[in-house]
Structure 1
Amino acid sequence: MRYTGLFHSWLLAIGYWLIPTPYSPAPLLPTPYSLLPTPHSPLPTPDSRFPISPLPTLPPPSHPPPPPPPKTTSP
């Protein structure tokens, strides 16, 4: 029973961390409500580890040139 004080101090620390009080600092882990966008905070940016690759651009289709207009000889 040597470590009773240490055990109780760990319980107190975990309890103070888990139980929110009006005087407790901001939580270390994000809560579901803090992840929701508010009017004061911008929308969350996409994760930089997974960049959104731009869509591949296809080359323009090669259409045959239009036939030349028929040559008319003026009388």
Structure 2
Amino acid sequence: TNIIRRLEDKAGTEVRLAGPLNETEFGRLINGTGRWFDPELEYDYLRLDILDELAVDGLGGLRSLLHSSLKSLAIKLAERAR
């Protein structure tokens, strides 16, 4: 939550995310009446911004871990589906 607040502060948003971030809530806020980030921002890019902020907080390896883990899991899922 603090990371999202920092990003909202940097962007000068008019509204705040009240609960957990998910794609539905992102869509509601980005397309809503109050300004919440640039309307051209995509959900995945916001998630990358969050990972960048985690790196600022000293958790830089998390981005690499997630990328390698998710990539290998995506490969396993594709193999299983065959």
Q: What is the TM-score normalised by the length of structure 2?
A: 0.23
Q: Identify which of structures 1 and 2 has the higher relative contact order when contacts are C-alpha pairs closer than 8 Å and 6+ apart.
A: 2
Question: Which one has the bigger helix percentage?
Answer: 2
Task: Report which of the two structures shows the higher radius of gyration computed on alpha carbons.
Answer: 1
